[in-house]
Each structure stands twice: as structure tokens, then as C-alpha cells.
Amino acid sequence: MKKRTGLVFFPAFDWSIAPIHPEREERLLYTRDQIFEEGVLDLPEIIEYRPQVATPHEIARAHFCVPGVDDQVLVAHRIAAGAAIRLSDRIMSGEINNGFAIVRPPGHHAMRVVHGNRGFCSINNEAVVVEHLRRTYGIKRIAIVDTDVHHGDGTQDIYYHDPDVLFISFHQDGRTIFPGTGFTDELGGPTAYAATINIPLPPGVTDSSLLYVIDNLVLPILKDFEPEFVINSAGQDNHFTDPLGSMLITAQGYARMTEKLKPDLAVLEGGYAIESALPYVNLAILLALAGRDYSYVTEPGNHPGKIVENSQVTNYVHQVVDQLQQMWDKRKDVTVSQLCGGSKYYQRHKNIFYDTEYFEEKQLEKVRACVSCPGYVLIDSHAAQPKIGRCRVMAISIHNRCCKNCIAEAWEAYYEAKKDYRYSYVYLQDKTDDTFITFRRDDQKEWRTEG
């Protein structure tokens, strides 16, 4: 069935980490040419939009940027996130059925607290859209399916304690690739158990095993979760020619997967085979979204019989799927108090490495393990950013469905942190009324971002 598919193309030609860095502006040049040359923009189903610019407030709904949004975010980041917002609005209005934001910079390694760029990401484009959809349209249940070869650790971090956002990531096993996380036992915090699903796959997975994972695990979980909106973090670095990944997926495999997932919105993430993969994978995905024939899209080097999967890889994939199916079936037997040992808070220490500028952040994250709501999150974070030096902050996030007690406790924690001289900045993100407050110790100033 043909669909109206929106496309925003934003290659950020003026932004790159470094001229020889794999995440550079040429990534989308060949894709643009391919889409033009194939006449895709002339198809009546494809509607191209200009991106908009995400506001600091739209970003602050998803992130605590230290010290502030403008210190971490360039116009290119705001446009990439704004492109995804633009498409989500057109989808919600019914003007288009689905959309593909072919944008950079990517976003899925950007976590809730942002001290800098990680894994080529500063702002999580998908999280900005999730918060926009919840705030603007009251959408309750949203799923993000991350199909990049790297674990979407940033998206996982932002929604680890949110039962309303299902995050499913399949990726190359973290023991063999950046960022080294995304194992089957990372299942979400006590109030959001099993709303995070990680499917680590061994190197060498081909289209058939990938589609096995989609059919036997991802689609059944999505069906049970019943999301009102599905976002695909579309990373194309599982391609068999990608220089960073070790997977064997083809453009056809990506398109078939897209056809099965039926995302409302796909947002480009990674993919570093600039000439041999990205133009073909992105084109095939776009055609699949629009319900057009994509069978003719074949990348160079993909000869019949060339890509073969080792039987050990196949068996391993089946075992991972079995294990996660069993967990999913038993998820409702697990209680909040079991998961946090009966204590008031669930907490975890995190060391987060910023690989672009080489520094580390240390975090203590505490979540109120409430039985009547998703709870609130307190994050004590410090890092020595190259530009501003050592900075310790307290960041408090109130879920939009928090109960009255939790809202009062979280605000109390904010007032207490303002009195605590260890914190240079104190932030409060209250999603119940769309408030974002920053308190700066230096001059005792406090301000709200404008909605």
C-alpha cells in the first residue's frame, strides 16, 4: 500500500567533528545525489519539507545541558532535532503517513545530562521528538526502535526510568564495539522494568537472522506494548561495507526490516560507508516507507551467494531471542520493591566517557521507587569539561505522570540542592507543567526557559 512519506534532508555541510573524522559532512552527499538521480523527489508519495530550528526549551525537555543549552548545542544540532519535530507534526496532522529525517549530527549517544559530545552526538534527536509529542499531543505510549550497529546508550539513559517509552535496541555486542553497553540484563529501572530491551548480536549477522530477531522478538514486544507512535533510530552501520561495524546487512535487509517495523518516523543515526552503503540503504528505506517497490535497489559488491552467515552466529542469535522472550513473558511477575530491595530509592553509579574530547563524567543517579507513579530522578553529576573546568550539578526530573507526593518531594529536593554549595548549577525539569528551571550558584540567579 502506498503511503505519503515526508522527507527532511539536512546534511549540515558546515558542521563536522574533524575533516578526517568518520562523522563528516560527506556522509549525506551521495545519498542526496542518489535520491535526486532516482527521481524519488518526483514521486507523488514523497513530500519534502524544510527543517525547523528546535528551541532551547524543546531541548531542555529532554536534556540537562551543562551549564546551559547554548553551551552544548550548535545551530546544526537544533536543526537536526527540528527536522524530526517538523516531520512529527506533519504526521500528527495527517498530512503524511510517515517520515524520514535524513539529518546529521546524529543523536542516540547523547544522554540525559550533556557535558559534551559523545559518540558523535550532543543532542538526542529522538528524545526531543518524544518530549514534543507528549507535550503537544498528549501521546502516552511511544516506542523507539534503535537499529544502529552501536548500542543507543544515550536514548536508553534518558528513558531508563520511563515506563511510557519502550526502548528496543539491537546492535553489535558491546564486548566488540563502542560504547560497550547494551546487554540483555539492562532492562530499565524498577518503575520501568522491561521498557528497555537490549538485543546484543554477534558480528557477522546477515539479513535472515536480523529479520528473525524482528519477527520473533521486536514485533511481538511492540504488539504487546501498543505504542501510539513508533520512532526508528535508523543507523545504517550494520551494512556489510561499513568501516566501523562488523555486520553483514544489505540495503534490501534494511528495507524489509523497515517494512515490518512500520515506524511513524525514522531518524538517521550512524552509517559511515559513505559511497557503498548510505545512498542505497537510505533510498531503500525511503521507498519501503512510501510503500514503493525497492527490489531494484542493489549496492555495489552485493553478489548472490557472497554474504553467508556462520551457523554459530545463527545459533547464538536464536539463544539471545529465546532468553529475551522468556524475560518478556515473565516481566509482570517482577515488582518495584523486588527490584530496589524494598528501599525508597533505586540508585546507580555511572562513569560516562566523552570520547570526542576525552573526559569522564561521574554520576550518582537516584530514582524514587514509587508504587503509584514512575517516580522522579535525581542526578548528581560532575565532570571536568575542557572549556569550563570542574563543574558539579544536581539535575532533577519529574515524570509527567508523577503523583502529588513525588512532585512535592522532587521540588523539596530542588530547594535543598540550591542551599548545597557543592553544586554550581541546579536544574529542575518538571514535565507535569512543562517547566525547566536553572539555578546558578555564582550569582544566585534562577531562570526558566520559555516554552
At which residue does the C-alpha cell 552527499 appear? 29
Question: CA 189, CA 158: separation in Å to the nearest integer?
Answer: 11
User: Residues in contact with Zn ion, total (CB under 5 A)?
Assistant: 9
Binding test (CB under 5 A) with Zn ion, winner from 54, 369, 406, 417: 406
Q: At closest approach, how far in Å is the CB of 58 from Zn ion?
A: 24
Residues 225-244 that bind Zn ion (CB under 5 A): 235, 237
Give least dist CB 42 to Zn ion, A.
31
Nearer to Zn ion, 211 or 403 (CB): 403
Nearer to Zn ion, 148 or 173 (CB): 148
Q: Which of residues 255-284 bind Zn ion (CB under 5 A)?
A: 270
Q: Shortest approach of Zn ion to residue 402 CB, angstroms?
A: 6
Q: Any contact of residue 430 with Zn ion (CB under 5 A)?
A: no
What values do phi and psi take at 350, rounded to 5?
-135, 140
In the bound state with Zn ion, the residue whose beta carbon lies nearer, of 383 and 410, is 410
* Choice among 63, 77, 108, 109 that is catalytic: 109
| Alpha-carbon dihedral 127, 132, 133, 138, rounded to 10 degrees | 120
Pick the binder of Zn ion from 403, 411, 432, 434 (CB under 5 A): 403
431 contacts: CB under 8 Å, gap ≥ 6:
61, 131, 134, 135, 397, 398, 399, 400, 402
**Residue 117 identity (one-letter amino acid):** N
Q: Which residues pair with 429 in a beta bridge?
A: 397, 436
Q: How far is CA 43 from CA 46, 98, 286, in A?
A: 6, 15, 11
> Cβ contacts of residue 99 below 8 Å, gap of 6+?
5, 6, 7, 8, 87, 88, 90, 91, 264, 265, 266, 289
Q: How far is the CB of 34 from Zn ion (least distance, A)?
A: 20
Give whichever of 237 and 264 is closer to Zn ion, judged by the CB atom.
Answer: 237
Instruction: Report which of 424, 412, 361, 358 is spatially closest to residue 386, judged by C-alpha positions.
Output: 358
Residue whose CB is less far from Zn ion, 74 or 403: 403
Which one, 352 or 393, has the nearer CB to Zn ion? Answer: 352
Scanning 30-38, 54-62, 149-157, 338-346 for contacts with Zn ion by CB under 5 A, the matching segment is 149-157
Per-residue contact flags (x/-) with Zn ion for residues 324 to 363, judged by CB under 5 A: ----------------------------------------
Task: Respond yes or no: is residue 109 known to be catalytic.
Answer: yes
Establish if 370 lies at the interface with Zn ion (CB under 5 A): yes
Enter the C-alpha cell of residue 19.
575533516
Q: What string marks each residue from 150 to 179 as x (binds Zn ion by CB under 5 A) or -?
A: x-----------------------------
CB of 155 to Zn ion, least distance (A): 12
The residue within the footprint of Zn ion, chosen from 148, 186, 264, 409 (CB under 5 A), is 148
Cβ–Cβ < 8 Å for 367, 191: yes
Name the burial class of residue 93, with classes exposed (0-12), middle (13-18) and buried (19+) by CB atoms within 10 angstroms of its CB: exposed
Of positions 40, 47, 373, 377, contacts Zn ion by CB under 5 A = 373
**Would you tell me how many other CB atoms lie within 10 Å of the CB of residue 218?**
24
| Residue 74 touching Zn ion (CB under 5 A) | no
Cβ proximity to Zn ion: between 190 and 270 the closer is 270
Using CB under 5 A, which of the segments 43-51, 62-70, 144-152, 224-232 binds Zn ion? Answer: 144-152
Q: Supply the minimum distance, in Å, between the C-beta of residue 305 and Zn ion.
A: 28
Write down the least CB distance from residue 310 to Zn ion, Å.
23
Of residues 45 and 146, the one with the C-beta less far from Zn ion: 146
Contact footprint for Zn ion (CB under 5 A): 148, 150, 235, 237, 270, 370, 373, 403, 406
Catalytic sites, residue numbers: 109
